[in-house]
C-alpha cells in the first residue's frame, strides 16, 4: 500500500470539505481550550496550596510546660537543636520584662536575659550570668547615659516579642547590670522561666517524625511537658492537597472523555454522512486498508489543524502578562491526545463500512 497518494487524497479532501473540516477544527480547538483551562486551574490551586504548606507555622513543633507553675528544663533547647531535621529553635521565657527600681530611684522597665538559654530567636543568648538591660527611656533614671549600649528594648516590644539580641551582646561587660542591681517592684515582673520552645522543622514532612522523637525525648519527664505541632493542620492540608489533586485528575478525565465522546459522536455523524462516499471509494478500487488510512488521515489532518491553532493560542496567552500556566509540559500530550481522539472517533464507522457489503453501503445511504 502506497501511503503518499492516500495521504495526499486525504489532505485534498480536508481542504475541499470546508464545512466539515471547519467543524472538526473547531472541535479540536475546543478540546485544547478545555484541557488547558482545567490544567491552568489545577496548577493555580496546587501553587496556592504549596505556598500555604510552606508557611513556617506548618513546620513548628511546640513544647510547653504542663500546669501554670511548671517550667521547661534548661537542657531541652540545646538537645532539640541537635535533632535531625531541625532548622532552628526559638526559646521563649528567658526574657523577663518587668518594672524594677534601684534603691533611691524611681521604677524603670528592665529586660533580663536568663543565662543558659542556648538561643533566642535563633541568635546566641548571653552565657554565664543572666543579664538585665534597661530601657533607653529610663537610662538617666538609673544614672547611665545613652548611648553607651545598655539599652536595646524597642518602644513597642512586649514579652515574647522577638528581641534583637545581637545588639545586646555587643554591650561591654562593664556596663551590664547584674540582676542583683535591681529590686523587683511588687510582683510586676513576668515569669522568668523557660516557658515555651518552638522548633522549626526543615520540611513539613519532617514534622510528624520530629514530634514523635521529641515526645520520646521528654517521656522521662512524665506529663510535665506537652508536645504539639501543626500536624493536624498539615494532615488537613495534605488531605486537601490530595483532594484537589483527585479533583483535578477527575476534571481532566471528564474533559478527556467528554472530548473523546464528542469526537466519537462527530466521527459517527461524519462517517454516516459519508457512508456512501466510502462505498464509492470501495467501488473505485479502494481496499479496506486504503479506506481506513484515508479516513484516519482526514481526521488527523482536521484535528491536527485544530491542535496547532490551539497550541499557538496557548503559547500566545502564556507569553502574555496573564501567564496562566506554571509549566507547559502537558501541551505535547494534549496535542497527541487530540489527534488520538479524532482517529478513535472516526474508526468505528470506518471499520463498519470497510467490512460491510460495499454495494449495500453504496446503494443504501
203 near other proteins (CB under 8 A): no
Least distance (Å) between residue 289 CB and other proteins? 7
- Stretch of residues binding other proteins (CB under 8 A), selected from 39-47, 285-293, 317-325, 333-341: 285-293
CB 221 within 8 A of CB 73: yes
Residues 6+ apart with CB under 8 A from 69: none
- With CB under 8 A as the rule, give the number of residues binding other proteins: 31
d(CA 340, CA 117): 66
d(CA 120, CA 134): 18
Residue 235 vs 357, nearer CB to other proteins: 357
For residue 280, state whether it binds other proteins (rule: CB under 8 A). Answer: yes
Site for other proteins in 118-177 (CB under 8 A): none
- Can you tell me whether residue 176 is helix, strand or coil? coil
326 SS3 class: coil
For other proteins, the closer of residues 176 and 288 by Cβ is 288
**For other proteins, which is the closer residue by CB, 6 or 40?**
6
Q: Which of 320, 343, 316 is nearest to 331 (CA)?
A: 316
String of DSSP letters for 94-147: SEEEEEEE-TTS-EEEEEEEPTT-SEETTEEPPPSS-EEEE-GGGTGGGT--TT
Q: Write down the least CB distance from residue 337 to other proteins, Å.
A: 28
Residue 362 interacts with other proteins (CB under 8 A)? Answer: yes
Tell which residue, 14, 26, 187, 29, has the closest CA to residue 98: 187
Min dist. Cβ of residue 54 to other proteins (A): 58
Is residue 13 within the footprint of other proteins (CB under 8 A)? yes
Which residues from 327-356 bind other proteins, rule CB under 8 A?
none
Q: Contact with other proteins (CB under 8 A): which of 51, 170, 284, 316?
A: 284
212-251 residues in contact with other proteins (CB under 8 A) are none
Separation between Cα atoms, residue 105 and residue 128, nearest integer Å: 28
**In residues, how long is the chain?**
365
Please pick, from the candidates 201, 290, 310, 342, the single residue that binds other proteins as defined by CB under 8 A. Answer: 290
Which C-beta is closer to other proteins: that of 211 or that of 290? 290
Stretch that binds other proteins, among 3-11, 22-30, 85-93, 145-153 (CB under 8 A): 3-11
Tell me whether residue 2 or residue 51 sits nearer to other proteins (CB atom): 2
Q: Which residue lies nearer to other proteins by CB, 247 or 287? A: 287
User: Shortest Cβ distance from residue 277 to other proteins (Å)?
Assistant: 6
Q: Is 98 in the site for other proteins (CB under 8 A)?
A: no
Looking at the Cβ atoms of 313 and 352, the one nearer to other proteins is 352
Report the run of H or E that residue 228 belongs to, with start and end: strand 225-229
In the bound complex, what is the minimum distance in angstroms from residue 35's beta carbon to other proteins?
A: 30
For the sheet with 131-134, list strands across it. 131-134, 107-113, 95-101, 183-184
Among 43, 193, 215, 276, binds other proteins (CB under 8 A): 276
Quote the CA–CA distance of 13 and 154 in Å, as a whole number. 81
Under the binding rule (CB under 8 A), the answer on residue 359 touching other proteins is yes
Does residue 96 contact residue 191 with C-beta atoms inside 8 Å? yes
Residue among 232, 229, 214, 278 nearest 82 (CA): 214
Grid coordinates representing 11? 489532505
Dist CA 262 CA 273 (whole Å): 16
Q: Is 41 in the site for other proteins (CB under 8 A)?
A: no
Q: Under the rule (CB under 8 A), what is the footprint of other proteins? A: 2, 5-6, 8-9, 12-13, 16-20, 276-277, 280-290, 357-360, 362-363
Amino acid at each position: 500500500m502506497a501511503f503518499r497518494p492516500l495521504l495526499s487524497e486525504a489532505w485534498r479532501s480536508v481542504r475541499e470539505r470546508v464545512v466539515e473540516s471547519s467543524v472538526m477544527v473547531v472541535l479540536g480547538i475546543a478540546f485544547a481550550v478545555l484541557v488547558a483551562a482545567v490544567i491552568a486551574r489545577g496548577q493555580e490551586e496546587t501553587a496556592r496550596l504549596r505556598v500555604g504548606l510552606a508557611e513556617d507555622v506548618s513546620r513548628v513543633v511546640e513544647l510547653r510546660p504542663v500546669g501554670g507553675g511548671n517550667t521547661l528544663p534548661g537542657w531541652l533547647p540545646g538537645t532539640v537543636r541537635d535533632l535531625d531535621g531541625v532548622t532552628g529553635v526559638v526559646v521563649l521565657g528567658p526574657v523577663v520584662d518587668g518594672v524594677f527600681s534601684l534603691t533611691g530611684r524611681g521604677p524603670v522597665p528592665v529586660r533580663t536575659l536568663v543565662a543558659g538559654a542556648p538561643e533566642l530567636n535563633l541568635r546566641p543568648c548571653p552565657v554565664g550570668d543572666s543579664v538585665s538591660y534597661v530601657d533607653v527611656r529610663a537610662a538617666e533614671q538609673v544614672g547611665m547615659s545613652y548611648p553607651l549600649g545598655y539599652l536595646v528594648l524597642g518602644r513597642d516590644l512586649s514579652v515574647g516579642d522577638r528581641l534583637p539580641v545581637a545588639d545586646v551582646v555587643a554591650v561591654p561587660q562593664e556596663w551590664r547590670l547584674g540582676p542583683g542591681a535591681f529590686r523587683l517592684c511588687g510582683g510586676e515582673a513576668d515569669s522568668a522561666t523557660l516557658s515555651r520552645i518552638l522548633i522549626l522543622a526543615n520540611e513539613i514532612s519532617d514534622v510528624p517524625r520530629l514530634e514523635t522523637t521529641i515526645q520520646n525525648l521528654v517521656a522521662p519527664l512524665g506529663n510535665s511537658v506537652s508536645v504539639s505541632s501543626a500536624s493536624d493542620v498539615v494532615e488537613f492540608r495534605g488531605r486537601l492537597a490530595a483532594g484537589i489533586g483527585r479533583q483535578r485528575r477527575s476534571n481532566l478525565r471528564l474533559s478527556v472523555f467528554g472530548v473523546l465522546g464528542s469526537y466519537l459522536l462527530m466521527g459517527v455523524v461524519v462517517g454516516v454522512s459519508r457512508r456512501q462516499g466510502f462505498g464509492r471509494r470501495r467501488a473505485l478500487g479502494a481496499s479496506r486498508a486504503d479506506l481506513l488510512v484515508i479516513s484516519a488521515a482526514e481526521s488527523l489532518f482536521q484535528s491536527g489543524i485544530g491542535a496547532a491553532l490551539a497550541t499557538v493560542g496557548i503559547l500566545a496567552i502564556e507569553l502574555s502578562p496573564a501567564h496562566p500556566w506554571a509549566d507547559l509540559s502537558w501541551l505535547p500530550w494534549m496535542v497527541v491526545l487530540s489527534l488520538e481522539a479524532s482517529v478513535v472517533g472516526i474508526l468505528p464507522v470506518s471499520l463498519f463500512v470497510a467490512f460491510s457489503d460495499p454495494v449495500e453501503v453504496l446503494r443504501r445511504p
